Structure 1
Amino acid sequence: MIIHWNFDPVLIAVGPLVIRWYGLLFVGAFLAGQALLTRMFKAEGIPQENAERLLLYALLGTIVGARLAHCLFYDPQYYLSHPLAILRLWEGGLASHGGAAGMLLSLWLGTRVLRPRMPFLWLVDRVSVPAALGAVFVRVANFLNSEIVGIPTSGGWGVVFEAVDKLPRHPVQLYEAVAYLVVFLILAVLYRRLGQRTPHGLLFGVFLMLVFSARFALEFYKVHQAAYPSGQLLSVGQYLSLPFVVLGAVMVLWSTGYLKGRSVGREKPARL
């Protein structure tokens, strides 16, 4: 069944004050992540206020990294000619690859200043769980905004984004949301089973490998976002995804001991 989608992205508009569904879901992702990370920290005896501080670091790093990556990789000619446009976040334009890199850098800085000190890989393992859930929120927000649309489809499940054109298209934003939800469930089950002694880097590696593998595969169903000539073998998003997939696979092999010739023993389960 073809669905005609003409959703108003504005939730509330009172004079100059405009609240959009995208912003609401973005904040919702942050709050859900904070609640989940706080619960994980509490179970492991880590001060709960550290979860709030670390997620603030992660939020700022994600926004800055995602915005810079979008500007420098997807449309560098325009943004280098109009550098002040980089600050116009309300116009849209965030790249998940830059968001991941920015989040990692900000969390590394967080491990330098917060007490008690936390190993970086220990921390990113735990942040990976709410990060996967946050990605679900963001892709649903993209769907509500009728942005990052899919290529036209002749199948009966197409969505006509009336703000874009009259063609039935793959609802690729929802494909990604479902994929990231599956990743979140996998990470949550792994953490629940392995618990406090989760091998450092395992959840982080699984997150990178699965999230960016899904991103790579689903890019084939997206309209290209970058301002580059058509005809390239892969999209910019796919080229940027490959290093993350490789890094994730290496982290999984390293954390499970396959790169060191050992195996992981039985672990203490955690309560989520």
Structure 2
Amino acid sequence: MNFLAITWDWNPEIFNIGGFSVRWYSLMFVISFLLGVHLMKKIYTQDGISHEKMDPLFMYTFISMLVGMRLGEVFFYSWPDYQDNLWKIILPFEKREGSEMLFGLVKGWKFTGISGFASHGAAVAIPIALYFYAKKHLQKSWLFILDRMGIMVALAGFFIRMGNFFNSEIYGKETGTSFGVIFKRAGEKYPCHPTQLYEAFSYLALFFILWRLYWKTDKKQKEGYLFGVFMIALWSLRFLIEFVKQPQVEERGQWALNTGQWLSIPLILIGVWLMLRKSKSEN
């Protein structure tokens, strides 16, 4: 009996005109970007930083996020699929007999699109990019910008996971009860854990906590503290929610901890170190 379950059969496309479609996932991504810019301007005003420095900030963040998430998927989860065809990492074409590419200009190839992203890759790439941004554009410490961008990333995580929910993807295992969500478009017949929602609202709560810490306390004066809170909370939440997620790599389904959990552990430890370390002002 699944009378208490929610049957989710939402169309991931908002509209489709002549083959051109706009999807809910894309809308969530755009909203997170625009809202992030708006809120970051408030923070830059508070810190006395020119808004002109916003443009390079989001270019560094956006590009590093896409590159990091893509490489994270390739190397952490799908390396066997790419090790003999490295061009597939960045080229969205696949050779197939009798198919065509780009309106038939080239025979024997099919446009497939680039798919597959992993947030752990972004967790590595974005801080690296922000190091160079802080050095070139802010003349401030690396941890200064990480403290503030962690707030925006938590908010972006909420919208991205909501996009995953609209796409009926990255959901959890069957609940084994009458509670849960039946992802009909994904072919599910029984209630599953809506892990996208678990993560989304956890990240939203983290955003509000970090936002309050920035505006209502003096914690932002201790460089690295806010980013440490972000790292501990976000990756601990991810670690726990992974227990009810579907395994992303079937061959690793029997592991005591899955790939996402193993990758989360060092990030949590970095957060602990950032919160406990003494800043220069305390020495």
Q: Secondary structure at the match of 1:148?
A: coil
Superposed CA deviations along residues 41-93 of structure 1, whole A, max 9, x for unmatched, are 01111001212320221111111101110111111100223333323495532
Distance change (3 Å), C-alpha of 1:2 and 1:218: same
Task: Report if aligned partners of 1:219, 1:235 keep a CA contact under 8 Å in 2.
Answer: yes
Superposed CA deviations along residues 19-43 of structure 1, whole A, max 9, x for unmatched, are 2111111121111111111110011
Q: Which runs of 5+ in 2 are unaligned?
A: 93-111
**1:102 is the counterpart of 2:105:** no
Superposed CA deviations along residues 210-254 of structure 1, whole A, max 9, x for unmatched, are 000000000001001125343111100000000000000110101
1:211 and 1:79 map into 2 onto residues whose CA distance is 29
Q: Secondary structure at the match of 2:16?
A: strand
1:179 to 185, 189, 202: 202
1:95 and 1:139 map into 2 onto residues whose CA distance is 12
User: Rg bigger for which structure?
Assistant: 2
The offset of 1:256, in angstroms, is 6.9
Q: Secondary structure at the match of 1:12?
A: strand
Distance change (3 Å), C-alpha of 1:90 and 1:188: farther
**Aligned AA (2:198):** Y
Which residue of 2 is the match for residue 71 of structure 1? 74
**1:134 is the counterpart of 2:146:** no
2:176 and 2:154 map into 1 onto residues whose CA distance is 31
**1:22 is the counterpart of 2:25:** yes
2:9 to 6, 17, 42: 6
Distance change (3 Å), C-alpha of 1:255 and 1:191: farther
2:252 and 2:218 map into 1 onto residues whose CA distance is 48
The offset of 1:155, in angstroms, is 3.3
2:168 to 98, 122, 146: 146
2:179 and 2:15 map into 1 onto residues whose CA distance is 30
Q: Which runs of 5+ in 1 are unaligned?
A: 264-272
2:119 and 2:126 map into 1 onto residues whose CA distance is 10
1:35 to 34, 38, 62: 38
The offset of 1:9, in angstroms, is 1.1
1:90 and 1:211 map into 2 onto residues whose CA distance is 30
Task: Report if aligned partners of 2:60, 2:133 keep a CA contact under 8 Å in 1.
Answer: yes
Q: Which moved further from structure 2: 240-249 or 194-203?
A: 194-203
Please tell me the root mean square deviation across aligned C-alpha atoms, in Å.
Answer: 2.1
Distance change (3 Å), C-alpha of 1:256 and 1:180: farther
Distance change (3 Å), C-alpha of 1:215 and 1:187: same
Higher strand proportion, which one?
2
Task: Report if aligned partners of 1:38, 1:52 keep a CA contact under 8 Å in 2.
Answer: no
Which residue of 2 is the match for residue 270 of structure 1? none
Q: Secondary structure at the match of 2:11?
A: coil
Task: Report if aligned partners of 1:191, 1:198 keep a CA contact under 8 Å in 2.
Answer: no
Q: Which stretches of structure 1, 4 residues or longer, exceed 6 Å deviation after superposition?
A: none
Q: Secondary structure at the match of 1:11?
A: strand
1:222 to 245, 248, 251: 245
Q: Secondary structure at the match of 2:15?
A: strand
2:63 to 54, 60, 65: 60
**Aligned AA (1:136):** F
Task: Tell me the TM-score normalised to structure 2 length.
Answer: 0.86
Task: Report if aligned partners of 2:12, 2:24 keep a CA contact under 8 Å in 1.
Answer: yes
Aligned length: 259
Which residue of 2 is the match for residue 47 of structure 1? 50
